[in-house]
Amino acid sequence: MDGSDLAPLLTPEGWRLLESLPPYDPDQALVLSESLRREGHSPALVSAALTQQRLRRRAATKFGPFADRMLFTPDGLEQATRLAVSAHHAARYARAGSRLVADLGCGIGGDALALASLCPGVLAVERDEATAALATVNLTPFPNAEVRCADALEVDLAAAGVDAVFADPARRSGGRRIADPERWSPPLHSVLALREQVAALGVKVAPGIDHASLPADAHAQWVSVDGEVVEAGIWCGPLAPEGPGRSALVLRTGADGESSAHVLADPDCADPTRPPVQLDPIAGPEALGDFIHEPDGAAIRAGLVAHLAGRLGAHPVGHRIAYLTGAAPVGPELAPFLRSWRLVEVLPLHLKALRSRVRTRGIGRLEIHARGVDVAPDALRASLHLRGQAGETWLLTRIGERGEHGRSPRGVVLVVAPVEAAVPAPGPAPTGSDPAAPSPLPRPDRSAP
């Protein structure tokens, strides 16, 4: 479905039909479609309405209750910023005192919606006419938002009274992602040049952007939502009160459904273009600590692994591997940025030996993570013939520096247990012990495979 397929809904009849439909149920979609056609609705309108209900159901994960009053296309929904993230964008503009924010390349209006909620005025600009029509519908509840169908770089910002800009360059062509920022539409250098007109500039960029492509006087922040890295942003002028550098914003949804936000920054990094610090890895399996830590993807992308390692007193397990190992558990101040396990055993990455382990231990549940080895967790799991009631967690990786002639060390399997599961429930402390300290557990087998 593209914007033109939504034309039947942009009529009084189409809107009434859409609003009268029950929540989308894939098991009832065919029956409902036939029923609506018998009532005299055109096939095009019925198809558009049911497709829209299906997209609204998917959009609830990004837009919450707002999704029930919005219109989407599949591409527009996929590329739209999650409301939880766009709310943080908008908060930057509100704290900077922005009066009229131009959202250049607004798409279906996801960021403009959040901006209009917190800022006095929003000018949402979209070049594609059909997409601009969707943005107009989606921003209807906000009288302080105007949608303009125009080229983002041809808007006269001064004449419009714009004092802040948010830009989201198109990073896809023909359905494929474009890695080179200078091939985005518009190119990154053209967007950054807008600072000559408006100092308060924010740019949404791909999380895989090369640090060398970042402006040295800006702040770059990578964002993850429940462990998934979703974007990076470049913040300039008054939108970057933290000053130049790099940071990670980690958004977590708790068991109660409430969300929390956590920011990690390296105070020693005042230049986002500076290459991340690379730490020496441990020498071998015998140097593994009691704990294995995996930094959040946003912290990895932001080049903050060394910063985390320093605060933990930990080291990478291998060359350019984002698993850290150390003797100390993670304290509450760093917990949002790391996933931690207690090391149980080290195994060779040999299929025959792993099959034997699965068979003899009756392993039927296996959680597998991999870093630095050319092994697909799903393929390995399928080849192990899992059967039984036991469960384990494996980290597939390599340990130590590169060998002679640049060869990588052999892969290993770290058998680990979640820290919460490995630490016994608190009970009466023995005389003379520290009641806050974890109960001692058997030392893991670190024999080299």
Distances (CA, A) of 115 to 134, 178, 247: 17, 27, 22
SS3 per residue for 160-176: HCCCEEEECCECEECCE
Q: Same domain, yes or no, for 8 and 149?
A: no
313: its two tokens: 């007193």
448: pLDDT strictly greater than 60: no
pLDDT level of residue 3 (50, 70, 90 thresholds) = low
- Per-residue pLDDT tens over the stretch 206-248: 999 999 999 999 999 999 999 999 999 999 999 999 999 999 9
Displacement of CA 141 from its chain's centroid (Å): 28
Instruction: Give the separation between CA 6 and CA 253, rounded to whole angstroms.
Output: 33
Q: Mean per-residue pLDDT for 96-101?
A: 98
DSSP E strands, 89-152: 100-104, 121-126, 145-149
pLDDT level of residue 5 (50, 70, 90 thresholds) = confident
pLDDT, position 420: 66
Q: Same domain, yes or no, for 291 and 339?
A: yes
Q: Mean per-residue pLDDT for 265-291?
A: 91
DSSP, collapsed to helix, strand or coil, labels residue 380 as helix
Q: Same domain, yes or no, for 166 and 84?
A: yes
CB atoms inside a 10 Å sphere around CB 230 = 18
**Inside any domain, residue 279:** no
Contact (Cβ atoms closer than 8 angstroms) between residue 355 and residue 384? yes
Instruction: Give the separation between CA 199 and CA 238, rounded to whole angstroms.
Output: 7
Mention every residue, 6+ apart, whose C-beta is less than 8 A from residue 334: 308, 311, 312
278: pLDDT strictly greater than 90: no
Tokens 């219109």 label which residue? 71
pLDDT, position 442: 35
> What mean pLDDT value characterizes the chain?
89
Q: Same domain, yes or no, for 36 and 139?
A: no
Tokens 């607004």 label which residue? 106
9: its two tokens: 């809904």
Q: Name which of 95-99, 276-280, 430-434 the model is least confident about.
A: 430-434
**Inside any domain, residue 274:** no
**Inside any domain, residue 364:** yes
pLDDT level of residue 430 (50, 70, 90 thresholds) = very low
CB atoms inside a 10 Å sphere around CB 168 = 25
- Model-level pTM? 0.87
Helix residue ranges, H only, 287-401 = 297-301, 305-312, 351-361, 377-383
Q: Same domain, yes or no, for 142 and 181?
A: yes
pLDDT, position 190: 97
Angle at 101 between CA 98 and CA 104, to 5 degrees: 150
Tokens 């392993």 label which residue? 363
**Inside any domain, residue 249:** yes
Mention every residue, 6+ apart, whose C-beta is less than 8 A from residue 134: 3, 6, 71, 72, 73, 76, 108, 109
Distances (CA, A) of 35 to 21, 31, 45, 55, 330: 12, 6, 13, 20, 58
Contact (Cβ atoms closer than 8 angstroms) between residue 113 and residue 138? yes
**Inside any domain, residue 375:** yes
421: pLDDT strictly greater than 70: no
**Residues composing the chain:** 449
Give the single-character DSSP code of 449: -
pLDDT level of residue 433 (50, 70, 90 thresholds) = very low
Contact (Cβ atoms closer than 8 angstroms) between residue 163 and residue 99? yes
Q: Same domain, yes or no, for 199 and 87?
A: yes
- Per-residue pLDDT tens over the stretch 146-167: 999 999 999 999 999 999 999 9
pLDDT level of residue 343 (50, 70, 90 thresholds) = very high
Instruction: Give the separation between CA 126 and CA 130, rounded to whole angstroms.
Output: 9
Q: Same domain, yes or no, for 236 and 318?
A: no
Instruction: Give the separation between CA 44 and CA 112, rounded to whole angstroms.
Output: 30
443: pLDDT strictly greater than 50: no
**Inside any domain, residue 429:** no
Phi then psi for residue 421, to 5 deg, are -80, -25
Give the single-character DSSP code of 181: G
DSSP, collapsed to helix, strand or coil, labels residue 277 as coil
Considering its fold, how many domains does the chain have in total? 3
Beta bridge partners of 228: 225
DSSP, collapsed to helix, strand or coil, labels residue 129 as helix
Q: Same domain, yes or no, for 233 and 325?
A: no
Instruction: Give the separation between CA 287 and CA 399, rounded to whole angstroms.
Output: 10
Displacement of CA 195 from its chain's centroid (Å): 27
% of the chain beyond a pLDDT of 90? 77
The CATH number covering residue 191 comes to 3.40.50.150
Instruction: Give the separation between CA 232 and CA 89, rounded to whole angstroms.
Output: 11
DSSP, collapsed to helix, strand or coil, labels residue 428 as coil
Which has more pLDDT, 440 or 83?
A: 83
85: pLDDT strictly greater than 90: yes
pLDDT, position 218: 97
The CATH number covering residue 388 comes to 3.30.2130
Pairing of strands 390-398, 363-370: parallel
pLDDT level of residue 356 (50, 70, 90 thresholds) = very high
Handedness of CA 320, 325, 326, 330 (dihedral sign): positive
Q: In terms of residue numbers, what domain contains 224?
A: 80-265
Pick the closest to residue 99 from 242, 203, 198 (CA basis).
Answer: 198
Q: Same domain, yes or no, for 124 and 161?
A: yes
**Inside any domain, residue 72:** no
Give the single-character DSSP code of 293: E
Q: Same domain, yes or no, for 131 and 250?
A: yes
pLDDT, position 175: 75
